A and B are shown apart, each in its own frame.
Chain A
Amino acid sequence: MKIKVTQEKLSRALNNVSRIAIGKVTLPILNNVLIRVDNKKVSLITTNLDMAIIDFLPVSSSEDGVITVPAKLLAEFVSNLPKGETITISSSGTKVTISTGQYSSTINGAVADDFPELPEINNKKAVTYKMGVDDFKTSIGQVIIATSNDLTRPALTGVYFNTNDDHLAIAATDGYRLAEKKLIDKVKSEVKAIVPASSLQEVLRSITDDIEEVEISFNEDLVRFRLGEVEIISKLIDASFPDYPKLIPKDCNIKVDLNREELIRVTKLAALFARSVGGSIICETVTSDTFSVKSIANEFGENDSKIKTKVTTAGKINLNSRFLLDALNSLEEPVITFQFSDRIAPVLLTNKKNNQYTHIVMPLSS
């Protein structure tokens, strides 16, 4: 096995794949990166048995072969080599030699036979979607905040990709709040799959500026994200996601439009006083023109901020300030719509104009 490649390209690829090749002690080979050269195609592969990252590396010249090398060590070594150099990696037996100009080093690798075989997506049977990478990145970011890390409820630890009425949407909930984003309108194929949040984090990290489009393919129990030369495959979570559309309130009694920046500011102020009461703040609408955010902490004092807006119905609701801030930060437009019905129904937060993103938060009992 032999490859010749520039330091920048190799370093970027190794840094990308080596992230998941760390920390698994049960099977040492999982700390290694598999380097495979097959008919001029070079791939760097790592896996943690929940997901795998495959980086197809464009190289100037190569010789066929396959070997595994401790990923972290190789990545750190290469990233410290001078930029602009051409690096040669070659293997003989399990010894892997990395050389460039006056630097040369030999790392003890391991034979590739023990490296796990990766599952593959059957392209013919797979359901595939394509979308702009910026939109994808923003959308995942808006939804992933609502995932849970409670492993006893696996369905909530992932982002639910589902088709509904011709559009592809993603949703996540931790049982206290729920975020939904419509990704693509008018899709033909159907999908219902929960992608682990941890895998999506890796997908987000693998996005670089030069990538424009992401291709997402689903199999029965596998998903693949294609980002330029990088492929990420991940297991799907084998659980059923709550039937969430029923949770989103259809019509609320109380509806106010608020300036997003202003609401973020008053929520932060209120949150300061709400620390001792678990972040609980009180949002209140007062006819005909006031939206107030209050918090009371007996030992510190209390806070009461008012925002002017048009109010038709008076009402009051207790919310967790952190959840409200997360939701507000995920919304994009300068003016947002805040809706609720009574003290137990969820609060519905949306952009005023664009209805692609929906965030609901369960109230706290007062």
Chain B
Amino acid sequence: MYDVWQNTLAEIEQQLSPANFSTWFQDTTLLSTKGGHIKIGVKNTFYVKQLRNRYYNIISTALQNNRVNVVDISFEVKSPVKSKVRSREVTNSPLVERIKSIRRPTLKSDKPRQDGLNQKYTLDNFIVGSNNDVAVAAAKSIVDAPGTRYNPFFLYGGPGLGKTHLVQAIGNELSLKNPHLKILYTPISDFFSDFVDAVRNGKGKEFNRKFQELDCLIIDDFQFIVNKEKSQEEFFNIFNNLYQLNKQIIVTSDRLPSQIKTVDERLASRLTWAGAFDLQLPKFEDKCAILRAKAELMGAEIEPKAIEYIAENVNTNIRDLEGEFSAILLMSEVRGLTPLELIENGSVSVNKSTKLRPVSPRQVIDKVAKYYEITPKELCSRSRVANIKNARQVAMFIISKELGLSTNKIAAEVGVKDHTTVMHGIRKIENDLKLNFALRDQIETIKEKIYG
């Protein structure tokens, strides 16, 4: 929606003097175009009359030139500062804080939900694919028999892959099955700040008791665990107590506990006692399935080809996938074109992809060599020194995954004997990636360097 208005403004700008344009159009926004009834947001009421009486025709023509259907135009006071304000709420002053603290209880009394669960997350609307089927199966068995086989349930994976959704869904299903269960969902950061508050107010024991009474504790974003001995010890104690009482514990993180520097070893090993489940990037088919389900949920119509296009071009995570999808639907509503038409006439470019721009195998080799602090020549040599060999394998892996070159060509580029060596190297990195998070980080960093 924003784009159309920017184009329209650019056109209007050409017809007015700079002074008039910047005065009257600077803070305008396009609020709605539904059914040709255009709504334009203006800074304050002083702008309404001027825009309506003097610039109505210019605006109308410019919008039509941008393929927006115009029946009539209305103006609404909508100060642009508002959105900025919300994002800056962090810098609150004492009085405002106080208002918040006063308001909070009244909010709670409306709807007594203290378990931190959001009911929009269910297992039914979690889309199962080859990237997450194991984790979902485990989740279902937890719902059937909490506190038994998968306890603690440790779930990890990159951002935007559905960790929070899955664990919230477990909480919701559990509470649906047995409303008397005491369930608590909390991000680890909240856990610690609540703990610190409790200790400061001399309510440490109460805090502890509150957790001891739980039937299911869900901790989100465990990677933000703080390096405070006392806090970690408290968490460790609660964890142990609940575990011994066979209460279900669920923990999510973006990596394995052993990869988080600040985690105490005892805790790290306990967290993965019952195994660690990961959520991976969805494959093409999974992405299509996600988009189809989302379209159905939103009641939107979208051509299969458009879905495939989006699925193919968004390679980062599910959150981006859904974001891009919503953006295209929104634009299609504004322009009055179907999503596929938009894509075909080039109005949208989905660029949430790791394939940002073409790079040559040479560039990859240079960057990899630079990252591992060796020369490209060394990388392409036949040296068997461990770090050089490793760098060579990483280079082969990236070239294969990112550029899609055949193993024969890769062999020629990095100067190894034949394609079997290349295949071996790539397979080795693939295997290592599953468990070696340092390697995963390294490859991500190198990729950023290549495309950045």
- List A residues at the B interface (Cβ < 8 Å): 26-28, 47, 49-52, 116-119, 151-154, 173-178, 219, 221-222, 235-239, 242-244, 246-247, 346, 362
Q: In whole angstroms, what is the CA distance A243 to B98 when docked? A: 11
Q: Is the CB of A242 within 8 A of B81?
A: no
B113 within 8 A of A: no
Query: CB distance A238 to B82 under 8 Å?
Result: yes
- Establish whether residues A49 and B23, one from each chain, have CB atoms under 8 Å apart when the complex forms: yes
Residue B70, interface by CB 8 Å: no
Across the interface, B85 reaches (CB within 8 A) one of A50, A153, A222, namely A153
Cα separation A49 to B99 with both chains bound (whole Å)? 33
Q: When A and B form their complex, which 6 residue pairs have the shortest distance between CB atoms, in order from nearest?
A: A175-B93, A235-B44, A238-B79, A221-B45, A27-B23, A362-B94
State in angstroms the CA–CA spacing of A127 and B22 once bound together: 33
Which residues does B use to contact A, with CB under 8 Å?
A: 19-20, 22-23, 43-50, 53-54, 77-79, 81-82, 84-85, 88, 92-96, 98-99, 102-103
Contact B45 A176 (CB under 8 A): no
Residues of B within 8 A of A116 (CB): 46, 49-50
Contacts of A27 in B (CB 8 A): 19-20, 23
> Known contacts A26-B22, A52-B46, A221-B45; is A238 also within 8 Å of B77 by CB?
yes
- B82–A221 touching, CB < 8 Å: no
Residues in chain A near residue B47, CB distance under 8 A:
49
- B102 proximity list for chain A (CB < 8 A): 246-247
Number of A-B residue pairs at CB separation under 8 A: 93
Q: Which secondary structure characterizes the binding site on chain B?
A: helix
Chain B residues contacting A151 (CB-CB under 8 Å) are 81
A190 to B336, CA, bound (A): 42
Supply 18 A–B pairs (Cβ within 8 Å), ascending by A: A27-B20, A50-B46, A117-B49, A118-B49, A119-B45, A152-B81, A152-B84, A153-B85, A153-B88, A175-B92, A222-B45, A235-B44, A235-B77, A238-B82, A247-B102, A362-B93, A362-B94, A362-B95
Partner of A26, one of B23, B44, B103: B23
Q: Are B95 and A28 in contact (CB under 8 A)?
A: no
**Residue on B nearest A29 in the bound complex, by CB:** B19
- Report whether B46 and A154 are in contact in the complex, using a CB–CB cutoff of 8 Å: no
13 more contacts with CB within 8 A, not counting A236-B44, A238-B78, are A118-B49, A119-B46, A119-B49, A175-B93, A175-B96, A177-B95, A219-B45, A235-B44, A238-B82, A247-B99, A346-B95, A346-B98, A362-B93
Is B85 in contact with A235, judged by CB distance below 8 angstroms? no
Whether the pair B81, A176 counts as a contact (CB closer than 8 A) is: no
- Closest residue on chain A to residue B80 by CB atoms: A238
If the complex has contacts A118-B46, A118-B49, A238-B78, are A176 and B84 also in contact, measured as CB distance less than 8 A? no
* CB–CB B19/A239 < 8 A: no
Across the two chains, which residue of chain A brings its CB closest to B78? Answer: A238
Q: How far is the CA of A141 from the CA of B15 in the complex (A)?
A: 46
Bound CA–CA A45/B210 (angstroms): 67
Flag if A242 contacts B84 (CB, 8 Å).
no
Hey, which chain B residues are within 8 Å of A243, CB to CB? 99, 103
B44 adjacent to A175 (CB under 8 Å) = no
